[in-house]
Structure 1
Amino acid sequence: MAIRPAEQLIHKAAWLYYAHGLRQDEVANQLNISRASVAMYLRKARETGIVNISTSTQLFTDDVMARRLEDALKLDAVWIAPENAYLADPSTDIAVLAASVFLELVGKGDRIGVAWGRTIYTIADIMSYADLQDVTVVQLCGNLGAPYSYRPDQCTMEIARRLNAKGLNFYAPLVLSTEELAHGLRAEPVIRDQLAGISDCDLALYSIGAVDADSHLVKCGALTAAEMAALRREGAAGVIAGQIIDARGELLDCSYNRRVISAGLASLRVIGKRLMVVQEDSKFEPLLAAIAGGLCTHLVVGAHMAQRLLDHAGTSAEKAS
């Protein structure tokens, strides 16, 4: 049910006070209302049961820009985090919102596929604890040996821990040294069955990576900066679950992809809810590629990225007409 205009200030006040820990006077300044009004709104929020992050995300679901973006990009649902001047890092708002959206999308008995990266681990790290029944969290791609907290296995197990769920890791590296080794490993019954089971997931959680020197694949040693630059010249547009895609959202024909142990794009596309979260504005082109490839049904972005996507959709429509 849509939030009525009269209720929006209640939701905003509750969001700022409970999700971000602002004092009542800070909430009043942010919303340009009196402190007495803030106290009244918070009391109403408690009385009506909306003082939890999960429910308050409905405020963003009902945002007009989100609805327009859903129509323009043919997505099932879009959530837009506002640009708040009081936050030193605006991407924090996106992660907080995404954690709440994720919990809303998870159902009892669900099987959830999880990728990796800073965005995913940040979501896991700030996610509220939930005790869901018979939920399984599976790793979407092989692992990396680099000592980062946002490795694939770390992301999977942290989300499983927050949900009190069963976690299933991939006991294989993300990328092999030769195509022959990768082909042989994919044929091993344990790995083969794990890859085949990805399509049985009800929900996928991932972000989209860039194809530049700052890419996780470069920082974690899977590719050198020079190799990544060469792949970009060949048409690389983004990275999803450790795999490189082109601007159409298709797997790039390259040796690197043939050496990767990861869920196939076809398996990802049949997952009913594919939640993509993008924090950085620099990932505009990779995000366009993921959307073009049908790798996203549900999207969480910031207001600036949302406007860029709308502008791009409008320009594309004009060119097509």
Structure 2
Amino acid sequence: MSLSPRDVQGLSAARLYYERGLSQGDVARELGVSRPTVSKLIQHAKDRGFVTIEIHDPRQVSTAVADQLCERFGLAQARVITSQPTNEELLRELGAVGALMLKENVADGDLVGITWGRTLHAVARSLKQQNRHGVQVVQLKGGATLTSRSTSHYETIRSFCEAFNAYPQMLPLPVIFDNAEVKRLVEEDRHIKHILDLGRDAKTAIFTVGTMSPESTLLKLGYLSEAEQTALLDNAVGDICSRFIDEHGEPCLPELEERTVAVSLQNLRAKQTRICVAGGQQKVRPLKAALGAGYVSHLVTDEDTARAVLV
């Protein structure tokens, strides 16, 4: 292959920059040219095919596991990230990929239903400004609590709305009422009914699955009696949108269903796009139940969780 003087210069600049790790300023001094010239020489090397760049994103592993998830559970899309050494790192990476998946699935004029919790807050923090118009974001479940423990639901919906230039539709209610009759009366208020109807009408939902342990968020927010907590620990594997499920994805404790302010599992399953972001060993059982029951169409998880779910 015959090389022109420009090719030779481009190769020299590229080798100094990529192989030796010199800055463009250092390369310029080494070659006796200006810094803008170095930039042009490196671009010339790329254009001639002398330089190829591969990105190995540690957040995403081979598509083989994702393909298995799609085939097993009838998913439209799955993304599997590399498992991380700490929960904080895992949340950050799940949030980043969850934000990308949401961006790909939200168009102008869409009505998007969201939940809250640490995972959704991680997604919210990773969202970048999008050129969207006419988007509305609606809460799919109440978030007010009797404790000082934060659910980050205000921060989450605010970040979603800022990213998509969206109007927020807040649900200013507890997620579980003390009394089913009080809940029914509150839901008859036309303003509350409007928000709940929007949640039902949303074609896109993004959510996670909750774990079931004495330290689970929903068991620490002051909604449940000790007897109810014991019953859930004995019978539930986790929750979806604060609706507790068993290993088959079916609701636990009908009396709690009557008091819960959240999108119904039946309505969630009927939505066009159902993005679930969930990872970590504690989420294997609720995630497997959610996938098996058809509540998920799009999934973001980590490799260890994915392989455990596929067993």
Quickly name the TM-score band, shorter chain normalised: 0.7 to 0.9
State whether structure 2 residue 211 is matched by structure 1 residue 196: no
Q: Structure 2: how far apart are the matches of 1:203 and 1:271?
A: 6
CA distance in 1 between counterparts of 2:19 and 2:257 reads 57
Q: Residue 140 of structure 1 contacts residue 263 of structure 1 at CA under 8 Å; is this kept in 2? A: yes
Q: Are the equivalent residues in 2 in contact too, given 1:112–1:204 (CA < 8 A)?
A: yes
Distance in 2, Cα, partners of 1:78 & 1:61: 11
Shift of 1:222: 2.0
Q: Evaluate the alpha carbon distance shift between residue 170 and residue 88 of structure 1 in structure 2; reply closer, same or farther with a 3 A threshold.
A: closer
CA shift at 1:289, angstroms? 1.5
Deviates more, 1:223-232 or 1:102-111: 223-232
What does the per-residue CA deviation read over 1:219-259, in whole Å, with 9 as the maximum and x for residues that have no partner? 222235663232232x2222121221222222223322211
Does structure 2 retain, via aligned residues, the 8 Å contact 1:109–1:135?
A: yes
Which residue matches 1:160? 161
Which residues in structure 2 correspond to 1:1-321 (within 5 Å)? 60=60, 63-83=63-83, 89-145=89-145, 146-223=147-224, 227-233=228-234, 235-310=235-310, 312=311
Percent of aligned pairs with the same amino acid: 25
Q: Is the Cα–Cα contact under 8 Å of residues 95 and 125 in structure 2 kept in the other structure?
A: no
Whole-angstrom distance in 2 between the partners of 1:118 and 1:85: 17
- Kept in 1, the 8 Å contact 2:115–2:141? The answer is yes
Give, in whole Å, the separation in 2 of the partners of 1:83 and 1:70: 19
Mapped partners of 2:162, 2:184: distance in 1: 32
Distance 1:171-1:144 versus aligned 2 partners, 3 A rule: closer
Contact conserved, 2:161 with 2:167, CA < 8 A, in 1? yes
Q: Which stretches in structure 2 are left out of the alignment for 5+ residues?
A: 1-17, 25-41, 47-52
Structure 1 residues 306 and 113, CA, compared in 2 at 3 Å: closer, same or farther?
Answer: same
Deviation by residue 1:276-316 (Cα, 9 ceiling, x = unmatched): 00132211111111112221110000011111122x2xxxx
User: Is the CA contact (8 Å cut-off) linking 1:176 and 1:260 kept in structure 2?
Assistant: yes
Contact persistence 1:153–1:170 (CA under 8 A): no
Deviation of residue 88 (structure 1)? 7.4
Cα deviation for residue 186 of structure 1 reads: 2.4
Q: Residues 100-124 of structure 1, C-alpha deviation per residue, up to 9 Å, x if partnerless?
A: 1111111111110000100001110
User: 2:4 maps to which residue?
Assistant: none
Residues 72 and 148 of structure 1, relative CA distance in 2, 3 Å threshold? same
Separation in 1, partners of 2:20, 2:129 = 31
One-letter code aligned to 1:259: R
Q: What is the alpha-carbon distance in structure 1 between the residues aligned to residue 250 and residue 193 of structure 2?
A: 22
CA distance in 2, matches of 1:125, 1:147: 22
Indicate how the Cα distance of structure 1 residues 153 and 271 shifts in structure 2: closer, same or farther if over 3 A, else same: farther
d(CA) in 1 for partners of 2:198, 2:137: 12
Worse-matched range after superposition: 80-89 or 246-255: 80-89
Q: Following TM superposition, by how much is the alpha carbon of 1:35 offset from its aligned partner in structure 2, in angstroms?
A: 6.3
Unaligned runs of 5+ in 1: 1-32, 45-50, 313-321
The separation in 2 between residues aligned to 1:175 and 1:244, in whole angstroms, is: 12
Using the size of structure 1 for normalisation, the TM-score is: 0.74
Summarize the Cα distance change of 1:295–1:172 in structure 2 as closer, same or farther, 3 Å threshold: same
Bigger CA drift: 82-91 or 107-116? Answer: 82-91
SS at match of 2:209: coil
Name the amino acid aligned to 2:115: A
Q: 1:107 to 1:147 in 2, by over 3 A?
A: farther
- Aligned residues, how many? 267
Larger Rg: 2
TM-score scaled by length of structure 2: 0.76
Give distance in 1, aligned partners of 2:182 and 2:173: 11
* C-alpha RMSD of the superposition: 3.2
